[in-house]
A and B are shown apart, each in its own frame.
Chain A
Amino acid sequence: MSFIQMKDVYKRYKMGETTIVANDGIDFQVNKGEFVVIVGPSGAGKSTVLNILGGMDTADEGQVLVDHVDIAQFTKKELTGYRRNDVGFVFQFYNLVPNLTAKENVELASQISPRALDAVEVLKDVGLGERLGNFPAQLSGGEQQRVAIARALAKQPKLLLCDEPTGALDYNTGKQVLKLLQDTCRETGTTVIVITHNSAIAPMADRVIEINNAKVRKMSENPNPVSVESIEW
């Protein structure tokens, strides 16, 4: 049984007179512990999928089963609880609270989560054991993104959702971040879904879902994912 199932999910945005269909019957499954890459061009509807999956947005139609629970039926409050306990987010622009140190940014998440890990440990795990007391402005982009990942991981989410995590990073740093995500997936068994427009990283995924024009064009399972180090783009 799949850990995540999106069944015939529709999402429409009304922009004045016109209606934009962001998700036009999205349908896919993800198994527990998989490293999933969703690829597609800008505006294809990837982020909408991720937002719905992360409980930041709601589907207009269809089922979104996460661990056998249809989060499409959740109330706003239940969604908040879902985000709080089950989902970790990593954004393109890190979205760290600038007034908090690295450690505090992680604590921001860990303090509201029941299964939270120790913030310092998590930061050490992501290789920032030395930068605990630094403010985001004092960290490089990669480091900031690592803080963001640490913040997401600290609550031991069932699901780690990453929206263009490397979009604002240089090649090497981006690679390191992807490595961290892949390692996390492998080591903790967390289901990781990464959105990217860079199809080059598809080989490192257990599952690749191609979204184009609001529909899932292709979903392929990769029985032999490669390490991110071996991928060049």
Chain B
Amino acid sequence: MKKTALWKDIFREIWQTKARFFSIFAIIALGVGFFSGIKATGPNMLDTANHYYQTHHLMDLKVQSTYGLSEKEMDFLKGLPEVKAVEGMYTADLLMKEANATAKVYGYESKATLNQYEIVEGRLPEKSGEIALDDTKIMAKHYQIGDTLSLESGDEAKQPIADALKTTTYQVVGFVNSPQFIENMNRGNSSIGNGTTSAFLVVPNEDFNLPVYTEAYLTFNDTANLAAYTKAYDQKVTAHQTFIEEQIEQIGKERLDSLKVEAEEQIQTNEQQLEEGKKALADAKTQIEAANEQLVAGQAQYEQGKNTFEAGIATGDQQIKEQAQLLTQKEQELATNQQTVEAGQARLNEGQAALDQTKAENLPKIEQGQALLTQLDQLLALPLDQVSAAQQQQAIQLGAAYSPDLGNLLMGYFNGLMTQAEARQTVQGIQANLAANAQQFDTAQNELNTQQQVLENGRAQLAQGTQMLTDGKVQLAAARQELATQKQAGLASLETAKAELADATAQYQTGLAQYEAEKATGEAKLQEGEQKLSEAKKQVASMALPKYYVFDRSIQPGYLEFNDNADRITSLSTAFPVFFFLIAALVSLTTMTRMVEEQRLQIGTLKALGYGNGDILKKFLVYASVASIAASVVGLLVGFNLFPTVIFNAYSTLYNLPSVRIHYYASYAILSLLVALICTTATVFVTVRVELRANAASLMRPKAPKSGQRILLERIGFIWNRLSFAQKVTARNLFRYKQRMFMTILGVAGCTALILTGFGLRDSIGDVAPLQFGKVMQYQLAVGLNDQATNDEKTDYEQLITKHQDITGTLKVAQEKVKTTKKNGKIQDVTLFVPETAKDLKQFVALENRKTGKPIKIEENGAVITEKLAKMYQVKVGDKLKIVDTNNEEYNIPITGITENYVQHYLYLTPETYQTIFGQQPTYNTELLTYSKENKEWEDQLGESLLQQPYVVGTHFISQLSGALDDTMSSMNIVIMVLIVSAAALAFVVLYNLTNINVSERVRELSTIKVLGFYDSEVTAYIYRENILLSVFGIIFGLIMGIGLHRFVLTTAEVDIAMFSPVIRWWSYLLASALTLLFTLIVMWVMHFKLKKIDMIEALKAVE
């Protein structure tokens, strides 16, 4: 049996009542979507984070030590049970010059598997000198790929950058995210700069110059498949953490020993070096002295040389001069000699000439005489007889010619006067005379000749002398030349020597200067070295065991906070969407009920036609099911995608996680589908079943119109009579449709409550930061102090603080972490807070009752605890709270006051009480400061100068803390906006639906008044007066409901360590009311057009 007509009717019904179908659809879709979406958001957020951690192999634990991590520790870690991977990491805190900010530099090795970076842009460093940067706005502002980044040490004197890095300038090659830093802003604290790390940087391992790793990362096999943020994961990791903490201490001793040995070796080397340095210095001294001596000797030598040279030259000169003189003398002498010779010659020549003349004159006479004489002799020799008188005459003539004497002689002889012999003798005598005369000539000649010879000798001698002189002159010239050359050469070499000497002097001077300088620094260094050495010795002596720190992921900025945020969304999803869904369900229930009522006649007709109850029911069940299933599907699809995405994106300003991973949770899908079906299909089923009990005839008869009724108000004459006619009509109408009135009020109230809760949450969460850091914590800076610091260091610090004029107050405080005992499976961390002078505390921390604002004093015999802690442990004033210190000793502390506080748990004690309870003096490890300046630059400067103090271990600026909280709040704002927008959408649909029902139920009445001549606006006003009134009731009721819902959501959304301010601001009430009213008005405006279109003729024709 086909019932096609029935099916046609079902689908035509849907088509014809599009508006109603759609409104049910919309409301269910909204409810389902919101419920499933919000429910899925928290798990999706955590899953997204976990997936990110797992794909990037985020470490489970991080180990650090006060001495870094050597192979010893690494070997130990590698040998741990269940350990999957252990990797060492070099890190260094350094300053970025260009950005003027502090960075934590990480080593990178391509084969490293843990904490892998996510490349946002560019690439990771591949070779020395390359760097990848943290993908943050600050970094992007200062650097681009290709830029140069320079690093410097925070304190070059104490920690030279070369100790950490080989290279200090890098080329930017990429921007990356790290699973260690899912937060956008926070990079943790630093011991340099202003105390806050701004970014992480990644450089190749080869650029590091560290002897040991600074951090070690571990993952474990048994946690590899566990999702982060789950209990199972946390338990496993905590177990490993505890195990390592317990076991690694053994390594500590060994490490210390080896460190000591190393240090001693180092000291020895240093000592040696020092000695060497000393020796070098001494050597240098000796050298310089030797140099000096040499120089002096050189100088002397030079002087001597110079003297010798000069003397030599002088002697040479002198000699030459003498020689010259001598030569001149000789020359003169020679000239004189020459003259003498010449004169001699001349005389000789004269003599010769005279001789020659005499000779010439006499010789022939002599010879004639001779010859005559000879002849005479010969004639004389003959006896006289023999000699003819001719001959005689001749001989007498001849003789007489020769000399009259001779002639006389001869005449005498021939005349015989004289004997022959006598004559002869006389002749012979004459002849001998003559020969003697001739001989005389020869002698003279001889003498002349001898003289000539002498002269010749003299001349030869002269020539020789001249020759010699010439030679002497030549020699002299040569000597002169030689001397000049020698002098020049001597001078030149002297000059060279001088120059060399000057050079040597200069060299010596520089050497000396250098030496002096080196000596100064060297001595200083030596001194320093000695000091260092002695310090090092002392240090080695006092070297403590290495302290090991085993951190789980919670140390990572944002890691836990992200969980908190996800949890917050999850806890929001417990109350908010349920309430939301309830309203949706309620309204769809009303709509379906109305539908059944409208279809009464048709139910009767179908029944009359003989259709069974099942068939009749089918129509409504199909209608409702189609609407709710289609709506659920759409709602689930949209909800599962939209809400996690929107909320996650809201958090993306805080976290640099990849986009959200959408999951479809069958549990939420089934749950919401079931509720949707119950609200629509089940409602229809019940309502139709009720109707079906009646018989066909009565069903076909119009249901007797609901009678008008006098309302209670009419009996209160003085009010009723004062009402205008329209108001009376409105008043009575309100009570006539009680169900609709109830639904409208509830719907509007629900929406108002949702919106108010949204705004209220924003107030409460937004108030936390200003309340905690403005009202409660009134100090501006907490300075962590090193209790091991020396007195000098402390004094330095105190002076710095006193000098700062802007610092208006200081208070030393002892802070200590203790724990509470277990409550509801959880242990709370409590900060023991002991001000040095309790009466000064109020300037720094306001202790007061939140409700009354009455100040609370820390009593002598007990503690003041914070409100949330008191609430969690249900402690009242006069009760005792049990706390456990780090040595696991329990103390019962009487509570004398409960103070307003919003973040973390504190337990305030006076020093005296502390002493009484713990039996020791509190250690003041923190100083709280207040100051009059408000700007960040000033704070940065202050932070920087404080961190340079050895007494200071850290700075915590309230402005930074509250800034971080503000960020969380602003992302929370977006989440709340999502809630508000959803609530608003719901409000709109609910109001539209209810108004729609109202109008369709009363279309006949509305047509009547239209026919009676009511203008459009009057018709609208006629019906809207009720709506506005109901809305107002709804809003008032909703505000009350909202307060409750807000409180409920707050308590579920609250994390253990925080208390939200339960106060909703007045303007949130106003805004929630105004928004609801606005939606009411928008709906009315839309409905106004619908009302205008009502066909009065059709409406009036029909039988009701």
Our pick among B707, B1005, B1015, B1016 for the contact of A97 (Cβ within 8 Å) is B1005
Known contacts: A135-B708, A137-B707. The answer to whether A97 contacts B1009 by CB under 8 A is yes
| B728 and A83 form a contact (CB under 8 A) | no
Interface residues of B in 754-808 (CB under 8 A from A): none
Our pick among B729, B1011, B1103 for the contact of A99 (Cβ within 8 Å) is B729
Of A57, A100, A101, most B-chain CB atoms within 10 Å: A100
| A95 and B1011 form a contact (CB under 8 A) | yes
Which residues of B are found within 8 Å of A85, using beta-carbon distances? 1013
Cα–Cα, bound, A100→B707 (Å): 9
Q: What does DSSP make chain B's interface, helix, strand, loop or mixed?
A: helix
Interface residues of B in 1000-1054 (CB under 8 A from A): 1004-1005, 1007-1016, 1018
- Interface size (B, Cβ < 8 Å)? 30
| A112 and B1012 form a contact (CB under 8 A) | yes
Cα–Cα, bound, A111→B726 (Å): 10
Cα–Cα, bound, A136→B708 (Å): 8
Shortest CB-to-CB span from B714 to chain A, Å, is: 10
Cα–Cα, bound, A97→B1018 (Å): 16
Shortest CB-to-CB span from A231 to chain B, Å, is: 27
Which residues of A are found within 8 Å of B1096, using beta-carbon distances? 56
Known contacts: A91-B1100, A93-B1103. The answer to whether A100 contacts B1011 by CB under 8 A is no
Interface residues of A in 47-63 (CB under 8 A from B): 47, 51, 54, 56-57
Q: Is A143 in contact with chain B by the CB < 8 A criterion?
A: no
| A93 and B733 form a contact (CB under 8 A) | no
Q: Is A81 in contact with chain B by the CB < 8 A criterion?
A: yes
Of A82, A98, A99, most B-chain CB atoms within 10 Å: A99
| B1097 and A51 form a contact (CB under 8 A) | yes
Residue of B nearest to A148 (CB): B1008
Which residues of A are found within 8 Å of B1011, using beta-carbon distances? 54, 56, 83, 89, 95
Cα–Cα, bound, A87→B1010 (Å): 12
| B1004 and A112 form a contact (CB under 8 A) | no
| A112 and B1014 form a contact (CB under 8 A) | yes
Which residues of B are found within 8 Å of A111, using beta-carbon distances? 725
| B1013 and A135 form a contact (CB under 8 A) | no
Among all A-B residue pairs, the 4 with the closest Cβ atoms: A84-B1013, A135-B708, A137-B707, A83-B1013
Our pick among B706, B1004, B1005, B1012 for the contact of A109 (Cβ within 8 Å) is B1012
Interface residues of B in 728-756 (CB under 8 A from A): 728-729, 732-733, 736
Q: Is B937 in contact with chain A by the CB < 8 A criterion?
A: no
Shortest CB-to-CB span from B728 to chain A, Å, is: 7
| A135 and B1015 form a contact (CB under 8 A) | no
Q: Is B110 in contact with chain A by the CB < 8 A criterion?
A: no
Q: Is B886 in contact with chain A by the CB < 8 A criterion?
A: no
Cα–Cα, bound, A81→B1017 (Å): 13
Shortest CB-to-CB span from A124 to chain B, Å, is: 19
Q: Is A104 in contact with chain B by the CB < 8 A criterion?
A: yes
Number of A-B contacts (CB under 8 A): 85
Q: Is A108 in contact with chain B by the CB < 8 A criterion?
A: yes
Cα–Cα, bound, A84→B1018 (Å): 12
Cα–Cα, bound, A97→B150 (Å): 87
Which residues of A are found within 8 Å of B1007, using beta-carbon distances? 95
| B704 and A137 form a contact (CB under 8 A) | yes
Interface residues of B in 951-995 (CB under 8 A from A): none
Interface residues of A in 85-132 (CB under 8 A from B): 85, 87, 89, 91, 93, 95-101, 104, 107-109, 111-113
Which residues of A are found within 8 Å of B729, using beta-carbon distances? 97, 99-100, 104, 108
Cα–Cα, bound, A214→B730 (Å): 42
Which residues of B are found within 8 Å of A84, using beta-carbon distances? 1012-1015
| A108 and B1100 form a contact (CB under 8 A) | no
Q: Looking at chain A, what size class is its interface with the partner chain?
A: 35 or more
Cα–Cα, bound, A96→B1004 (Å): 9
Known contacts: A56-B1096, A95-B1004, A99-B732. The answer to whether A151 contacts B707 by CB under 8 A is no
Residue of B nearest to A109 (CB): B1012
Which residues of B are found within 8 Å of A138, using beta-carbon distances? 707
Q: Is B709 in contact with chain A by the CB < 8 A criterion?
A: yes
| Residue contacts A-B, CB under 8 angstroms, 26 given | A54-B1011, A57-B1097, A77-B1016, A80-B1014, A80-B1015, A81-B1013, A81-B1015, A83-B1013, A84-B1012, A91-B1100, A93-B1100, A95-B1008, A98-B1005, A99-B732, A99-B733, A99-B1005, A104-B728, A107-B725, A108-B729, A108-B1012, A109-B1012, A112-B1012, A113-B1013, A136-B705, A138-B707, A151-B1012
Cα–Cα, bound, A81→B1004 (Å): 20
Which residues of A are found within 8 Å of B1097, using beta-carbon distances? 47, 51, 56-57
Which residues of A are found within 8 Å of B736, using beta-carbon distances? 99
Known: A95-B1004, A101-B708. 10 other contacts (CB 8 A): A57-B1097, A77-B1015, A81-B1013, A89-B1012, A93-B1100, A99-B733, A108-B725, A135-B707, A137-B706, A138-B707
Residue of A nearest to B724 (CB): A111
| B708 and A112 form a contact (CB under 8 A) | no
Cα–Cα, bound, A68→B703 (Å): 45
Cα–Cα, bound, A199→B786 (Å): 114
Q: Is B156 in contact with chain A by the CB < 8 A criterion?
A: no
Cα–Cα, bound, A180→B502 (Å): 152
Which residues of A are found within 8 Å of B246, using beta-carbon distances? none
Q: Is B1104 in contact with chain A by the CB < 8 A criterion?
A: yes
Q: Mark B680-712, 1 if CB is under 8 A from A, else 0.
A: 000000000000000000000000111111000
